[in-house]
Amino acid sequence: MADHPRAPIALLTSQVHRLHKNINTRLQPTSDADITSVELEAIGDELHAMATRLFPICRSVTGDGVRETLQIMQESIPLDIVEVPTGTEVFDWVVPHEWNIRDAYVKNSAGKRVIDFRQSNLHLVNGSQPVQQSLTWGELKKKIHSIQSQPERIPFITCFHKDDWGFCISQTRYEELEALGEQTYEVVIDSVIKEGSLTYGEYYLPGESSEEILFSAHICHPSLANDNLSGICIAILLANRLMQLPRRRYSYRFLFAPATIGAITWLAQNHNKLDQIKHGLVLSLLGDSGHSTYKRSRSGDAEIDQIVEHVLKTSGEPFSIRNFTPYGYDERQFCSPGINLSMGCLMRTPDSEFAEYHTSGDNLEFIEPAFLADSFNKCHRIIEIIENDYSFINLRPMGEPRLGKHGLYESLPADTDQKQFQQAVQWVLNLSDGDHSLFDIAVRSQMDFSVLLKSTCALVNCGLIAQQ
């Protein structure tokens, strides 16, 4: 990250603050509620640069790869790095032994590494037992994984729940080795599996309310970019921007933990905090070129579900909404019946619906700055709604007020879309009746929340509505 200086994008910071403040004070509404395309471009570059820096690290469920990742993240946000010892009981599970890997290779009789962990950490089955032995090709190839249908890609394979080991190579490489016939190879896996700990990162940002919004991204995958450096980097940048706000309406919690056992460990150790969680999102697969996909929370109609759906619907781009299923990412744990948080999952193309999933094809070329930035922008809009969903009362509710006489239009920036502004004004006036919050008005009008917010600021400023 040091060699990728962060662009000075204080946008989210100033914006959420400004909008929030507008509503309670008499600032002029401004026309830059949205992130501009230039700003988005810089955000995309910053996110891709973060992912590029984290990409080579060999993360796993436990071990130094996770620690190194979290330490780099500490450059952006003051993350707490938490170690939970091997053997700790976490609900129905136990924290496993820690796995670390120094080197792994297969050498031919000439001493040349024909499979080399140092070239790609995907070459080793993640979680492999230590091995040092000589094997014939006939023996070795039983431990080798490749993908016939994608001959140039290395698969990503794990073996955490059984004592095993293996290597992953491209089908092309496999066939080259096969062509060499029955030779003897030296197989070395210099891994260590022993008592240690499971490591996760957590960042808690207090707000005016102790009610929390939880963002969670899994950090257990080695050199895969979309799954889940995309989610990790967007969460880091959201946290970084939110922490720079002088005030936040809600508290925010960012969790970076290994999938399944990491989420379960955090839940087990923070069970007393769950009542504070208003809702949240699992962030994953946010950098590919597919359209945005939202998987609803377990209840299906939680506030977070409605907010994300509104953001996607008003984005003007294709999107998918899916019902909750008890398989997928850590929403499985957050939405288990005893936990039952209102958490959905924001993605682009869902796992196993793109060929690159869990292969070396999920690399830094597969995620693109523009798509990362678009996903960030959607998260930003979601937070904008969460922070600014207040209710107002129309102070001139009998018929329409005569807008001109109240000076509504006087201070509008020159670039305001007058027709859109006017429609937003009419919606806010019509539904500010004590029964509709600003978000309710957005849903009903199908208008962009930012536009309604700007009109709301103008209406507050000229005294036509007041916060309820």
Angle between helices 418-431 and 449-461 (to 10 degrees): 70
Q: In whole angstroms, give the CA distance from residue 186 to residue 178.
A: 16
Alpha-carbon distance 141 to 178, whole Å?
9
| Residue 338 makes contact with a second copy by CB under 8 A | yes
Residue 438 in the binding site for a second copy (CB under 8 A): no
- Please answer whether residues 342 and 304 qualify as being in contact, where contact means their C-beta atoms are separated by less than 8 angstroms: yes
Kindly state whether residue 151 participates in binding a second copy, applying the rule CB under 8 A.
no
Using CB under 8 A, pick the residue from 31, 202, 396, 412 that binds a second copy.
396
CB of 419 to a second copy, least distance (A): 10
Between 249 and 310, CB nearer to a second copy: 310
206 binds a second copy (CB under 8 A): no
Closer to a second copy by Cβ: residue 187 or 343: 343
Between 44 and 262, CB nearer to a second copy? 262
**Minimum CB distance to a second copy smaller for 192 or for 466:** 466
Site residues for a second copy, 286-305, by CB under 8 A, read: 298
Cα distance between residue 105 and residue 420, in whole Å:
63
**From CA 54, how far away is CA 245, in angstroms rounded?**
26
The SS3 call for residue 194 is strand
Measure Cα distances from 229 to 201, 221, 262, 363 in Å. Answer: 14, 9, 16, 10
* Under 8 Å between Cβ of 453 and 33: yes
Does the protein bind a second copy through residue 93 (CB under 8 A)?
A: yes
Looking at the Cβ atoms of 27 and 268, the one nearer to a second copy is 268
Stretch that binds a second copy, among 135-143, 279-287, 348-356, 421-429 (CB under 8 A): 421-429
**Cβ 392 vs Cβ 455: under 8 Å:** no
Select the residue interacting with a second copy from 132, 161, 182, 352 (CB under 8 A): 161
Out of 2, 8, 402, 414, which residue is the one contacting a second copy (CB under 8 A)? 402
Question: Among 178-186, 284-292, 346-354, 394-402, which window interacts with a second copy (CB under 8 A)?
Answer: 394-402
231-245: burial string, b at 16+ Cβ within 10 Å, e else:
bbbbbbbbbbbbbeb
Whichever of 196 and 401 has its CB closer to a second copy, that residue is: 401
Helix (H), strand (E) at residue 240 = helix 231-243
Binding segment (CB under 8 A) for a second copy, from list 81-89, 101-109, 222-230, 429-437 = 429-437
Which x/- pattern, by CB under 8 A, does the window 309-328 give for a second copy? ----------------xxx-
Which residues contact residue 334 at a Cβ distance below 8 angstroms, ignoring those fewer than 6 apart? 214, 216, 263, 267, 280, 282, 341, 343
Among 429, 442, 451, 460, binds a second copy (CB under 8 A): 429
**Nearer to a second copy by C-beta: 134 or 340?**
340
CA of residue 153 relative to chain centroid, distance = 25
- As measured in angstroms, the least distance from the Cβ of 268 to a second copy is 7
Binding window for a second copy (CB under 8 A); candidates: 111-119, 179-187, 265-273, 303-311? 265-273
* Residue 433 in the binding site for a second copy (CB under 8 A): yes
Asked if 398 is part of the footprint of a second copy (rule: CB under 8 A), the reply reads: yes
Say if CB 331 and CB 264 are below 8 A apart. no
Residue 333 as a binder of a second copy (CB under 8 A): the answer is yes
E strand residue ranges, 314-453: 319-322, 343-347, 391-394, 433-437
Cα(70)–Cα(255) distance, rounded to whole angstroms?
Answer: 11
E strands in 351-449:
391-394, 433-437
Residue 335 sits in the site that holds a second copy (CB under 8 A): yes
State the residues that interact with a second copy by CB under 8 A: 90-93, 161, 260, 263-264, 267-268, 271, 298, 325-327, 332-333, 335-340, 394, 396-402, 404-405, 423, 426-427, 429-433, 445
